[in-house]
């Protein structure tokens, strides 16, 4: 039995004095901190200023009215002013629709909210400028929110709609004030006689700010939906399950082949090294990833739905989509590990987490992100997973609510990553770049001390 190869010893102080220990760690950690801070804070730095083409539905149901033989259609005038506003021209993409179409847009997550002008709007405004009423009815505009499409985006849309209503109210108030002044000038005698030429006291209080706002949920969510954020966190679980699962599987296969030691506390087990081609190694890891994704998706759903109790339906579809999404993420991470080796986990973290989360549109809507992140959102996998989960949880698993695109992009990502891993590992093998453990040569006797002749 041969003696174990003697190990060279080094002191902690000696190791800390080596530049090769400090420099790579400093460069890698420093660049990661710099890049991640720029990515995350750059995406959320100024969402209001970055907003472009935020989709909001505009419903004009006003039927108009006649006053003194003259046709008045304030709803059409207001809708034209809203869509032609220079202040909102680039920020908002108004979707003119009837109420049924607007409800459908909300139910598919295509708009973040809606502004509804009711059918009696012109009549309500005209009543304020007409004869006094016992109980004047204030004109009202309805703001519909859509937290299912994203709570932040829904809040932005609601705030924009409130400002639109406030501007409309001020405009209508000025018109009413002018009309009352004209009526008072035309009938001064009636005013001196104690007969009001303007509406009653209650209506007078409405003149300055006549239009009221009514806020409602356009597409209601359950109480256990995290205000529209449960889809984001569930998608995050799936993405992390794929990325971390790939690292775990890769490590376990390497340990089984003897490429890595198995450290358990103070105990260390090293198996004899067994040769396997890079391509076969990638195939084995991929098979494990696909099969185990079924388990991890089921347990993720059991924890979220069964234990935590989030609102969810279509549980079978949620499990299948979660399995496919986790497998696609895992295969992507495994391909990056196979291609880049030791830097693979860092690259996969940047691709699947660093670049993906800010461009997912899960917290900040895509329309409120800088152009760079909107470009990333076209292909970054996290966005596709969020859209799929959101459709299943909030929009009845409708394919036109994001699930169709999610399935397509998940399949493309899975196939592309699998092909990348197979092609490059096969290329490495053909060039003889195997992962077999290096065989250490027998230790050579060290030369003794040299004597220098006098």
pLDDT digits (tens, 9 = 90+) for 254-312: 999 988 888 888 888 888 888 899 999 999 999 999 999 999 999 999 999 999 999 99
Strands 70-72, 65-67: pairing kind = antiparallel
Q: What is the pLDDT of residue 260?
A: 85
- The pLDDT mean for the chain works out to 86
Give the pLDDT of residue 180: 62
The model's pTM is: 0.85
Mean pLDDT of 111-135: 81
Task: Band the pLDDT of 136: cuts 50, 70, 90.
Answer: low
Q: Does 68 have pLDDT greater than 60?
A: yes
What per-residue confidence (pLDDT) applies to 440?
Answer: 44
Residue 11 to residues 8, 16, 256, 443, Cα–Cα distance (Å): 10, 9, 31, 21
């Amino acid at each position: 039995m041969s003696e174990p190869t003697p190990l060279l010893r080094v002191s902690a102080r000696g190791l800390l004095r080596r530049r090769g220990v400090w420099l790579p760690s400093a460069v890698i950690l420093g660049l990661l901190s710099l890049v991640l801070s720029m990515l995350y804070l750059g995406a959320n730095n100024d969402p209001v200023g970055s907003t472009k083409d935020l989709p909001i539905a505009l419903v004009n149901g006003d039927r108009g009215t006649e006053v003194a033989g003259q046709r008045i259609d304030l709803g059409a005038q207001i809708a034209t002013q809203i869509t032609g506003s220079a202040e909102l021209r680039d920020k908002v993409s108004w979707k003119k629709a009837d109420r049924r179409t607007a409800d459908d847009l909300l139910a598919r997550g295509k708009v973040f909210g809606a502004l509804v002008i009711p059918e009696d709007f012109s009549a309500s405004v005209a009543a304020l400028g007409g004869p006094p009423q016992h109980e004047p009815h204030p004109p009202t505009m309805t703001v519909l929110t859509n937290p299912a499409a994203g709570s932040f985006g829904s809040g932005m849309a609601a705030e924009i709609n409130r400002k639109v209503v406030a501007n409309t109210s001020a405009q209508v108030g000025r018109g009413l004030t002018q009309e009352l002044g004209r009526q008072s000038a035309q009938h001064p005698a009636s005013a001196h006689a104690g007969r009001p030429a303007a509406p009653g006291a209650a209506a007078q209080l409405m003149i300055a700010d006549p239009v009221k706002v009514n806020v409602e949920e356009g597409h209601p969510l359950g109480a256990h939906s995290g205000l529209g954020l449960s889809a984001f966190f569930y998608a995050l679980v799936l993405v992390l399950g794929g990325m971390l699962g790939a690292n775990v599987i890769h490590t376990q296969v390497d340990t089984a082949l003897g490429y890595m030691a198995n450290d358990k506390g103070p105990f260390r087990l090293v198996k004899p090294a067994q040769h396997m081609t890079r391509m076969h190694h990638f195939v084995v890891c991929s098979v494990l990833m696909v099969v185990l994704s079924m388990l991890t998706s089921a347990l993720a759903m059991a924890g979220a739905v069964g234990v935590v109790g989030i609102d969810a339906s279509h549980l079978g579809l949620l499990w299948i989509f979660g399995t496919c999404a986790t497998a696609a993420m895992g295969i992507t991470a495994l391909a990056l590990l196979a291609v880049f080796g030791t830097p693979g986990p860092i690259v996969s973290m940047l691709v699947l987490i660093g670049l993906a989360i800010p461009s997912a549109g899960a917290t900040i809507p895509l329309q409120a992100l800088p152009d760079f992140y909107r470009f990333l959102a076209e292909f970054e996998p996290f966005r596709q997973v969020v859209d799929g989960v959101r459709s299943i949880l909030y929009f009845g698993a409708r394919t036109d609510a994001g699930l169709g695109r999610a399935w397509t992009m998940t399949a493309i990502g899975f196939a592309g990553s699998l092909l990348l891993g197979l092609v490059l590992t096969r290329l490495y093998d053909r060039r003889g770049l195997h992962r077999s453990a290096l065989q250490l040569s027998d230790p050579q006797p060290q030369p003794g001390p040299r004597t220098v002749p006098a």
